[in-house]
Chain A
């Protein structure tokens, strides 16, 4: 192709550019088309896979997690809509809906005891107790997914990590940094909380908080009192030295087995 001189040449160049543009668009269109077709084919195959292996997906948490991964890789969310083809192919809508209800029930039942803060492992056990021996057991991965769906509904659902363990919060209102710091301490996430068993003791006192954080006593007291008002901390005035202790039931009653002297 030669660029000719003068106006004719310019017009020719312009036409060529235009042609290239059209061709480019054509190619792009074809490529996108091809991609759409490929994805559509993927989806169909995935749906078939889901239908064929529905029982396994529902029964086996590890298989289920791998399936979710596979879906995520091609941008498919099997939980996206209750009415979607997915929901009917897998019955997933029902599965996670049911699980969501059980999660809410378990959290509500234990709220007076832990102030709406519950360890993921404890929540999983409570949920599986509700599902009973006949039900399909849920995994932590399942519960986390169900909670993420619940979070969309509002109401304060959140997942947080304290002392290396995962906790579910089921009441609205954020835990500010001061409160989180104190909880981390009691959970054994910071120096001063490490005693026996590698984890925190599950309780603390104004004195200990002051010693670890360097805060004035009034600030430490304020945070502990706030946690108590939320129902996350319980007070204990029975220590032999008479110092008031603040316990955190969400960190587990098992911690109480340790010596409290």
Chain B
């Protein structure tokens, strides 16, 4: 059971929930929010943020404030520009948060393969994120979106090959 996330002081300071009109102020504000989003998502193993949903990140009931849609999108756009997030839809409602970068996830995968001597083995995408073999590792509970991207990267590096299964869940991976 993970410990409760400790929010930074600015999360309890009302003006931080209004996108500031002055550029220097706004830049700093957005930077702080980006940091918070990455830490929060890593701590809670959150992979997708829905800009239209009122999550604990965007809403602070104790001070009666929440980030409006424009602010949420502006902050996430900055994360995307930094390569730490990707929009999954054109309407900017679903944002994939890369609190570990794709290459970092790839390293986790390769570490897993090495540790368990899986060269030459075959696993499905489902097994890679939820099977008994990955229980207790960082891969457990990883969102398929990040794992798929990591697999793509590793495939281009010749470290594995993927092949389609009967269903998307059954996408297979063969480690070289």
Chain B associates with chain A? yes
B-binding residues in A (CB < 8 A): 112-113, 115, 203, 228-229, 231, 234-240, 245, 247, 249, 253, 256-257, 260-261
Interchain residue pairs with CB less than 8 A apart (22) = A112-B27, A203-B14, A228-B22, A229-B22, A231-B24, A234-B20, A234-B25, A235-B20, A236-B14, A236-B18, A238-B14, A238-B17, A238-B65, A240-B64, A245-B14, A247-B14, A249-B13, A253-B10, A253-B13, A256-B63, A257-B12, A260-B63
A-binding residues in B (CB < 8 A): 9-10, 12-18, 20-22, 24-25, 27-28, 63-66
Given A229-B22, A235-B20, A247-B13, 14 additional A-B pairs, CB 8 A: A228-B22, A234-B15, A234-B25, A235-B15, A235-B21, A236-B14, A236-B18, A238-B65, A238-B66, A247-B15, A253-B9, A253-B12, A256-B12, A256-B13
Residue of B at shortest CB range from A248? B15
Residue of B at shortest CB range from A246? B15
Please indicate which of the listed interface residues B20, B22, B63 has the most CB atoms of chain A within 10 Å of its own CB: B22
CB-CB under 8 A from B21, the residues of chain A are 228, 235
A257 to B18, CA, bound (A): 17
Instruction: Identify whether the interface residues of B are mostly helix, strand, loop, or mixed.
Output: helix
A101 to B128, CA, bound (A): 52
Instruction: Identify whether the interface residues of A are mostly helix, strand, loop, or mixed.
Output: mixed
B27 to chain A, nearest CB (A): 7
Please indicate which of the listed interface residues A113, A203, A228, A240 has the most CB atoms of chain B within 10 Å of its own CB: A113
A23 to B24, CA, bound (A): 72
CB-CB under 8 A from B28, the residues of chain A are 112-113
CB-CB under 8 A from B20, the residues of chain A are 234-235
A240 to B14, CA, bound (A): 12
Q: Verify A231–B64 contact, CB threshold 8 A.
A: no
A236 to B25, CA, bound (A): 13
CB-CB under 8 A from B14, the residues of chain A are 203, 236, 238-239, 245, 247, 256, 260
Q: Verify B64–A236 contact, CB threshold 8 A.
A: no
B8 to chain A, nearest CB (A): 10
